Amino acid sequence: MSGVDAVGRAGGDTVAGALSEVRVVAFGGLPEIAPGDDLVVAIGDALVGAGLAPLEGDVLVVTSKIISKAEGRIVAATDREDAITAETVRVVASRVHPGGVTRIVENRQGIVQAAAGVDASNTPDGTVLLLPEDPDASARALAAGLRARFGVRLGVIVSDTLGRAWREGQIDQAIGAAGVLVLDDLRGSRDSFGHELVVTQAAVGDELASAGDLVKGKASGMPVALVRGFGHAVVESLETPARALSRTGPTDMFRLGTDEALAQGHGAGYAEGFEAGYAAGLAAARAEAGGTE
């Protein structure tokens, strides 16, 4: 840091040529995954085949879809809507549109997302794919297996494609993690003017998932990305759940869609208002009757 100069400029100056670099690489060579397949073997072999044997501090971003397939989370579903209902813990919002119903729900994994994460793309007709039962556990198993095979400390992010409030389009986010810190807690650190950064917690797990999606794409047959250069977030412990990125409960200011909350509030208000109004109407009529006696 260079301190504050005469015109109030401060800090921030860095040496020309200083670099901070992350490489994000998706690779081919993975077979189509089927129930029971060993992803440690499949991903490990593909990494080696691509000349990308993992190094210390690498992070693998793995599309949840291949984990679901390996874990046999493919189910017959003549009606995808039934599968969504079965995976739903709580409906946040729904809206009818010409193509059907959009349902934003909290699912069994504790994630708020459209359609509970139930996927009918990239699966055979008549089947749908559910999310992994416990994506953090899936990430731990994969990270442990790949660490053992390659003898390096690496992290695993399990990604899924999520919509967002107030933003168009979807982005990949972290729904499972092991061995990589998903929140970079900057609270208490200071900016270049010495002010404490009070509210900043960077959701780097989500940012890693998004970076992975840039190279994986949606239909490219490359469901895993290797992120090299983010080793400062890779830790020995595999207990770094992406579940910590889900915000539900009392701190959730959007636990119910606007239309749903308006309707719920209206119903409760109407009942209370009717009761109070009825009493007032009775009293007024009686006062009026009393006044005319």
User: Can residue 72 be called a binding residue for a second copy (CB under 8 A)?
Assistant: no
CA-closest candidate to residue 60, choices 251, 260, 290, 231: 231
Q: How far apart are CA 104 and CA 115, in angstroms?
A: 6
User: Can residue 101 be called a binding residue for a second copy (CB under 8 A)?
Assistant: no
Q: How far is the CB of 10 from a second copy (least distance, A)?
A: 6
Q: How far is the CB of 112 from a second copy (least distance, A)?
A: 4
Look up residue 244 and give its two tokens: 């910590």
CA-closest candidate to residue 233, choices 173, 143, 171, 153: 153
Instruction: Return the residues of window 27-56 that contact a second copy according to CB under 8 A.
Output: 27-32, 34, 46, 49-51
Nearer Cβ to a second copy, position 237 or 251?
A: 251
Look up residue 270 and give its two tokens: 């109407």
User: Can residue 96 be called a binding residue for a second copy (CB under 8 A)?
Assistant: no
Contacting residue, 14, 56, 82, 239, with a second copy by CB under 8 A: 14
User: Can residue 235 be called a binding residue for a second copy (CB under 8 A)?
Assistant: no
User: Can residue 151 be called a binding residue for a second copy (CB under 8 A)?
Assistant: no
Nearer Cβ to a second copy, position 1 or 144?
A: 1
User: Can residue 79 be called a binding residue for a second copy (CB under 8 A)?
Assistant: no
Instruction: Return the residues of window 109-128 that contact a second copy according to CB under 8 A.
Output: 111-112, 114, 120-125
Instruction: Tell me the three-class secondary structure of 209-225, residue by residue.
Output: HHHHHHHHCCCCCCCEE
3-state class (DSSP) for residue 79? coil
CA-closest candidate to residue 64, choices 134, 162, 131: 131
